A and B are shown apart, each in its own frame.
Chain A
Amino acid sequence: MALSGSYVAKEAVTNLWRNRLMTVAAVLTVAVSLALVGSALLLKQGTSNATVQWQQHVDAIVWVAPNATSGQSATIGRQLSADPFVRSCIHRSQSYDYAEAKRILPAEEVSVLTVGDMPSSYRCVLYNPAEASAIKQQFTGRPGVDRVQYPEAQIRTMENVIHVLQWVFLSIAAVLLLSAAVLILNTIRMAIFARRREVSVMKLVGATNWFIRLPFMAEGMTQGFLGSAVAVLAVFSLYWGLGLDTVKTVANHNSLAAQMSMGIGQVALTSVFVVVVGVAVGAVGSALAVRRFLEV
């Protein structure tokens, strides 16, 4: 059966307008919750860009000198694994470190580097991160060791704060998304009630169930989409407002914004995710309403 898109669109728009107050409430709730989701994702991405070398609980990095022999490198690895402070230790090759340098350093610096210039490294997880300085003392100056690095307390604090913020944002967003779904459900329920005569006539003359349901589903998904569109605007304002679009240069690469900066592609990806979640919330809300209140 030809279920024309224009019919569904026309019905959905008519309903949205008829129910505009509820629609605005639902759209705004979706918008606020998804703006929170989007910001949380953006912050998470920014933090992970800024602290890329300290991911996966790495507490200390032992850089192998570029001129070290493979025997020296292997010895360092054995000594680290045997160290009582070290829980585990992973060897990172030169090409891995080169790829990482490209993410951390300004482009103009990376352009003069080659894979051969890069040192390989050992990433260590300690039993107690506070003891990283002990590792530094032990290994600095051993044959083949270039230097030992561990994150400063500030970085750890920043990571922790942002980690907590993310969870706060995401929990609030989850609650708001739930209420958005309920608001959408209620809007669709009112739309079904407003159109009960049409629906009964449609059933009588033999309209298929999907023909009756689809305009209501489209209405809910439109609400979700509109809300997520507003949230996408918020995500982009955050991106530009915090200066996360800063291009890293030699001059600014120690500033927080530059360290957290990311390409517009990552923001676009976040936006796509936000839109998908918005439409999904609309679909779930309206599907429940249709299932519960539309007896077809």
Chain B
Amino acid sequence: MITFQNVTKTYKGSTVALRDCSVDIEKGEFVFLVGPSGSGKTTFIRLLLREEVPDSGRIWEAGKDIGRLSNARIPYLRRNIGCVFQDFRLLPNKTVFENVAFALEVIGRPRHVIATQVPQVLDLVGLSKKRDNLPGELSGGEQQRVAVARAFVNRPLILLADEPTGNLDPKTSLGIMNLLDRINRTGTTVVVATHDAGMVDHMRRRVIELDRGVVVRDQARGVYGIDQAVAAAGAGSPTGARVLEAPAGPDGPTARPVPRRGSRRGAIRRPPLPVPDAGTEEA
């Protein structure tokens, strides 16, 4: 569904956002993109939305080489991609229903489609009763649900989320993550860029870790920080989890403990779910 092939992206002032990045994401996968600020997560998302073009390398998305897409085709690419942001990006003067309907209106969907699809998706996110409220009258979690509804109402192949829980408390974040999980089960590929360690640890889905523009870890059923067991085993161990660019064990570059952002979350983090040893799952 998504393939990055040796993608490099540099911004002005020679800041390297992504360096020789190669990633493969299958249809229906749920992927966390983790890493500290400035590691290239947002660039990854922006490249997928074709708000940026790579300096070199290629990106395939839904079978298309999006670097070769003409400007006129970009809107049609974006109709296959839903996107959710930390700041919700709702229109404050439109009601919940209108916000979601707007996404269909502006791509020219007929009225009867809007009349059926919007209530369905509001039902999915559990906001049927608030359809006539304005965003300002909703809690942060509810606003993000509206944003998710708007991203999903057109049934996109891919749902991208850039820090979707960045403004939310852990309990509300969990609700959003469960929502993304339900959407993922409909077959939609979901990519979530996040700092939310607790969420990543809780969900135990594929984790791609970026550090200064380089993919340093790509692990099925990963956690936010480096999994000590995997790190200790090193890259040579026959595990499903791939620790990339890890020439050595604890002293190698990937063994560097990734600081858990927002230690405030530490106190209220949900206990990790009982999962099988991270190393026994196939990628």
Asked if A and B are interacting partners, one says yes
Asked if A201 and B78 sit within 8 Å, CB to CB, the answer is no
Nearest residue (CB) in B for A7 is B105
Say what secondary structure dominates the interface of chain B. mixed
Report how far A280 CA is from B66 CA in the complex, Å. Answer: 37
- Report the stretch among B1-9, B69-77, B218-226 that lies at the interface: B69-77
Q: Which of A4, A204, A209, A211 contacts B83 (CB 8 A)?
A: A204
A1-60 contacts to B, CB under 8 A, are 1-4, 7
Would A197 and B89 count as touching, CB distance under 8 A? yes
Contacts of B78 in A (CB 8 A): 203-206
With contacts A204-B78, A205-B107, A206-B107 taken as known, whether A197 is within 8 angstroms of B91 at the C-beta atoms is: yes
Residues of chain A within 8 A (CB-CB) of B110 are 2
For chain B, residues 149 to 175, give those with C-beta under 8 angstroms from any C-beta of chain A.
150, 154
Is there a chain A Cβ closer than 8 Å to B108's Cβ? yes
Q: CA separation between A208 and B73, bound complex, in Å?
A: 9
Provide the residues of chain B in CB contact with A207, threshold 8 Å.
75, 106-107
Say yes or no for B103: interface residue by CB 8 A criterion: yes
In the docked arrangement, what's the CA distance between A148 and B76, Å?
A: 77
Binding site for A on B (CB under 8 A): 49, 71-72, 75-79, 81, 83, 89, 91-92, 102-103, 105-108, 110, 150, 154
Q: Which residues of A contact B102 (CB under 8 A)?
A: 198, 201, 205
Residues from chain B with a CB closer than 8 A to the CB of A203 are 75, 78
Specify which chain A residues have a CB less than 8 angstroms from the CB of B77 in the assembled complex.
206
In the complex, A200 Cα to B108 Cα: how many Å? 17
With contacts A206-B76, A209-B75 known, is A2 near B91, CB below 8 A? no
Chain B residue nearest to A208 (CB atoms) is B75
* 7 closest Cβ pairs, A-B complex: A206-B79, A206-B78, A207-B106, A1-B108, A205-B103, A206-B75, A2-B108
List chain B residues, Cβ under 8 A from A3.
108
Residue of B nearest to A4 (CB): B108
A211:B106 contact, CB within 8 angstroms: yes
